[in-house]
Structure 1
Amino acid sequence: MKHEIIEMIEKYQKIIIHRHVRPDPDALGSQGGLAYLLKEHYPKKEVYVVGDEEPSLQYIIEMDELQDDIFEDALIVICDTANVERISDERYSKGDKIIKIDHHPNEDPYGDIIWVDTNASSVSEMIYELFETWNDLKGMEMTEKAARCLFAGIVGDTGRFRYPNTTERTFQYASELVKQPFSLVDIYEPMERISLNDARLQGYILNNFEQYENGVGAIKLSQSILQEYKVTPSDASRLVNTFANIEGIKAWVFFVEEPDQLIRVRLRSKKPIINGLAQRFNGGGHPLAAGASVFSWEQADEVLAGLHEICREG
């Protein structure tokens, strides 16, 4: 599969790299890491990164602004995106061919070439693996900018190497990446920085989340609460692990209301499998980290009831 990806990339003059909406460090890290590798190794190719900007993550990479006609005859590479509904920038459909590189369960097998590895800690880890194959075939060299992006992506999706998806391979690749002269401080400091408003919302969450006897934790953040604390839904969603380390918590859910009354559901777990529950509510994801969408607080209660059932069984 990696050989097929390399062969296809070499055929195209224009390569546009996408990822999912509301990006996290892995989405941007894999997208940027691949882009920087291609720009360095194929300087005559046109390589672009597109998608919605996330101001708090612009320290990883910033997006290109493209006219519609640039997508014509381009190769589209989509990183870290399980289904087409979550692809940021719908103009991907204007491209000639699509490569999907992802580590979520392959429930929506879109694309002309599909490389999915659910055992990878992150798509950034997969891009490093692709680089190794490329290096064996073509003598590709790692660059400082690419290494910085990939390391940020791995760090983000492994929770600073604390999540169960962290493997020996993860540490091996990270150790190779830090040989490049980028600053670890310049990655960790902005990744851990929060605004004063976010910090105050954290206090609200800790004072108001519900903890149940079966190990479930939950918080509902309505638009009125977000407005009171002057935070966006994206800001609030990043606080999903605020009460993760409270004794007795096995799985937890964050409900974050958007301005259009859509309610984002952020599910996390230490052991019980929760992505099946997410799939029942317009979502999906990893066994221990998933997301969904509901359209009323009554539906949110249905999600919570499902989480209770999972924790009772597990």
Structure 2
Amino acid sequence: MKRAILDVIKEYETIVIHRHVRPDPDAYGSQMGLAAILKGNFPEKKVYCVGEDEPSLRFLGEVDVIADSVYDGALVIVCDTANTERIDDGRYAMGAKLVKVDHHPNEDVYGDLAWVDTGASSCSEMIAAFVEAFPKELMLNETAARLLYAGIVGDTGRFLFPNTTPKTLRYAADLVTFPFDRTEIFTKMYETPLNAVKLSGYILQNFQMTENGAAHIYINQALLEEFEVTARDASQLVNRIDSVIGIKAWILFVQEGDIIRARLRSKGPVINGLAKEYRGGGHPLASGATLISESEIPEMVAKLEQLCN
């Protein structure tokens, strides 16, 4: 499949790369890292990265604003996005050909070509593997290495999550041979606004956990306003309780307008099935879902308790 994707890349003069909504470092890293690789190896091609701008990730790069006409006869590549509902910018279907590159379970099959590797720690790791597969045709560059490294760091939790494999560490070792500033990446990725730090204190004091190790907390609009934080800032605090003794799986619920975002994490029980029941999905130990009313919170918590029992 990697060979097929490289061949189709060579066919097109214009390439537009998408990723998922509410992007994280791996979404930016894989999307913009791939773009940097293509620009470096095929300078004659026009390569664009699209999607809604995310201010907290601007240190990695900025998205392009392009007209609909750019999609005429273009190749579209979607990175790090399991299902079409989560693709940022619905124009992804306007190109001549569509390629999916992802590491989530392939439950929503889309694209003319699809490369899915659930054994990869991140989509950024997949892009690193893509370059490595063609040493005579593709070369890495410092810009791409920095982006891919940030993506891998983000999706492995600084190499602490169980999705970190020997291959992951080997790719990371290859990437850091380039002289980008790793300290800056860690600082920018994990610095937290003061108000969010105060909210994390509230979370630590108020989360609920059962004897079976199922934990949860709900941050509603009133709390967001009290601590003067955005829903995105609050969602970034999902791992604040991961070191609690006895915890098995947990959900951070955050109100976002008329809906409630649920961020699920686990140290063992498989939770992506539960996320799927509530209009979401993801990895076995890290998933997300969307609730349409507060009444679904106790339902979801009860099901999490059953998984932990």
Q: State the TM-score, normalized to the length of structure 2.
A: 0.99
Aligned partner of residue 111 in structure 1, secondary structure:
coil
- Is 1:61 equivalent to 2:58 in the alignment? no
1:282 paired residue number:
279
Q: State the TM-score, normalized to the length of structure 1.
A: 0.97
The Cα shift of 1:193 comes to 0.3
Distance 1:195 1:92 in 2: 34
1:22 paired residue number:
22
Aligned partner of residue 310 in structure 1, secondary structure:
helix
The Cα shift of 1:147 comes to 0.0
| Unaligned ranges ≥5, structure 1 | none
Count how many residue pairs are aligned between Structure 1 and Structure 2: 309
1:233 maps to which of 223, 231, 235: 231
Distance 2:109 2:41 in 1: 29
| 8 Å CA contact 1:6, 1:134 repeated in 2 | no
Aligned partner of residue 32 in structure 1, secondary structure:
helix
- Is 1:37 equivalent to 2:34 in the alignment? no
Aligned partner of residue 271 in structure 1, secondary structure:
coil
1:82 paired residue number:
82
Matching residue's letter, 1:153: G
1:10 paired residue number:
10
RMSD: 0.7
2:161 paired residue number:
163
Matching residue's letter, 1:223: Q
- Is 1:262 equivalent to 2:259 in the alignment? yes
The Cα shift of 1:228 comes to 1.2
Percent of paired sites with the same residue: 53
The Cα shift of 1:71 comes to 1.5
Distance 1:248 1:78 in 2: 38
The Cα shift of 1:297 comes to 1.1
2:199 paired residue number:
201
The Cα shift of 1:303 comes to 0.8
1:207-228 deviation digits (Å, cap 9, x = unpaired):
1111111101101010111111
1:171-227 deviation digits (Å, cap 9, x = unpaired):
100000000010101100111100111111111111111111110110101011111
Distance 2:233 2:17 in 1: 25
1:106-158 deviation digits (Å, cap 9, x = unpaired):
0000000000000000000000010012324x1x2210000000000000000
2:187 paired residue number:
189
The 10-residue stretch of structure 1 (294-303 or 98-107) with the greater mean CA deviation from structure 2: 294-303
| Unaligned ranges ≥5, structure 2 | none
1:143 paired residue number:
141
